[in-house]
């Protein structure tokens, strides 16, 4: 693990990586011995009709293995956030199918989708979404409390220890830094021990030091606690903390990189953006 006492840098992660030029795994296959925590098959999402029709996802098939940290990247408008929202059950697909574990989302009605999101999916957003009147500890267990479930005390203790906020559980959000608030949001997402955690730009509102704390926690939650994390990000350094990066462009999966470094991710992003700039010239 990188040292917690200093800001992160690409070398923090690159030093523990294998060869960045190693062959990438196909987007539609799982790692040997690891089942898919979430997957999509021929997923298409269309907004509007006629002249206002926009195809955000176009026949996308991708799989995210259990106990792995995956990042989704792509130019603006590539469909990366739409893919996450559809796979998390926050939005519906126009066609195709998405699964959480072995459950196809299209077979669930509203009540079933709500139960699946509550019990099997954790969410981390750019905004912390903490209730200001509750303590950090109460915010962490809030979804379980609403569901009428008790937290597993051993698991909760592991999560709180991993997030490094044991001495801040009684503090309200206004008494916490931005990085600490986002770590509370991360712990809340993991409190129910979900099948998969979806994180949408989780470091977008944080400075580099606070962002590093969150990224290290997400990585630790995968490698030490066995969680599955799928993160949308625009930041090559953030993506370098992942085990794998899936690249989207124009609603298609166009590349798949394992053991990324900030430099290798940036090179891929530049390669995707060049045709766009050429077309505008």
- Structural domains of the chain in order of their starting residue, each with its CATH number: 28-280 (3.40.50.300)
The pLDDT score that the predictor gives to residue 27 is 52
Task: Report how far Cα 161 is from the mean position of its chain's Cα atoms.
Answer: 21
Out of 10-19, 24-33, 177-186, which region has the weakest mean confidence (pLDDT)? Answer: 10-19
The pLDDT score that the predictor gives to residue 6 is 32
How confident is the model over 228-244, as pLDDT tens digits?
999 999 999 999 999 99
* pLDDT greater than 60 at residue 26: no
Percent of the chain with pLDDT over 90: 72
User: Between β-strands 229-232 and 196-200, what pairing exists: parallel, antiparallel or unpaired?
Assistant: parallel
The count of other CB atoms within 10 Å of the CB of residue 270 is 11
Longest dimension (CA), the chain: 59
Instruction: Judge contact between 176 and 196, C-beta under 8 A.
Output: no
How confident is the model over 84-115, as pLDDT tens digits?
999 999 999 999 999 999 999 999 999 999 99
The pLDDT score that the predictor gives to residue 274 is 59
Taking CA atoms, 265 is separated from 19, 21, 71, 188, in Å, by 13, 11, 11, 29
Task: Please return the burial class of 73, using the count of CB atoms within 10 Å of its CB with bins 0-12, 13-18 and 19+.
Answer: buried
β-strand partners of 57: 45
Averaged pLDDT for residues 42-60: 96
Averaged pLDDT for residues 31-54: 90
Token pair of 248 as six digits: 């989207």
Out of 65-74, 140-149, 245-254, 269-278, which region has the weakest mean confidence (pLDDT)? Answer: 269-278
Alpha-carbon gap, residue 233 to 231, rounded angstroms: 6
The pLDDT score that the predictor gives to residue 31 is 54
Taking CA atoms, 17 is separated from 1, 28, 59, 240, 264, in Å, by 12, 23, 32, 9, 12
Averaged pLDDT for residues 178-188: 93
């Amino acid at each position: 693990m990188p040292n917690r006492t200093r800001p992160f840098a690409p070398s923090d992660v690159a030093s523990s990586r294998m060869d960045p030029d190693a062959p990438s795994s196909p987007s539609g296959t799982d790692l040997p011995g690891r089942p898919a925590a979430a997957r999509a098959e021929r997923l298409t999402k269309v907004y509007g009709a006629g002249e206002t029709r926009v195809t955000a996802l176009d026949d996308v098939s991708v799989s995210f293995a259990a106990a792995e940290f995956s990042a989704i990247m792509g130019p603006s408008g590539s469909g990366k956030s739409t893919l996450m929202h559809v796979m998390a059950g926050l939005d519906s697909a126009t066609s195709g199918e998405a699964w959480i574990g072995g459950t196809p989302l299209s077979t669930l009605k509203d009540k079933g989708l709500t139960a699946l999101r509550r019990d099997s999916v954790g969410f981390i957003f750019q905004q912390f979404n903490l209730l200001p009147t509750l303590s950090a500890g109460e915010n962490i267990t809030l979804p379980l409390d609403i569901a009428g479930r008790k937290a597993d005390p051993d698991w909760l203790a592991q999560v709180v220890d991993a997030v490094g906020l044991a001495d801040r559980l009684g503090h309200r959000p206004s008494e916490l830094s931005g990085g600490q608030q986002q770590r509370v949001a991360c712990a809340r997402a993991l409190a129910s021990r979900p099948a998969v955690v979806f994180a949408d730009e989780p470091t977008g509102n944080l400075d580099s030091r606070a962002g590093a704390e969150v990224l290290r926690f997400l990585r630790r939650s995968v490698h030490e606690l066995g969680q599955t994390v799928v993160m949308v990000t625009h930041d090559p350094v953030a993506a370098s903390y992942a085990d794998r990066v899936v690249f989207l462009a124009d609603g298609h999966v166009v590349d798949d990189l394992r053991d990324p470094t900030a430099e290798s991710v940036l090179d891929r992003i530049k390669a995707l953006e060049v045709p766009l700039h050429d077309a505008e010239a």
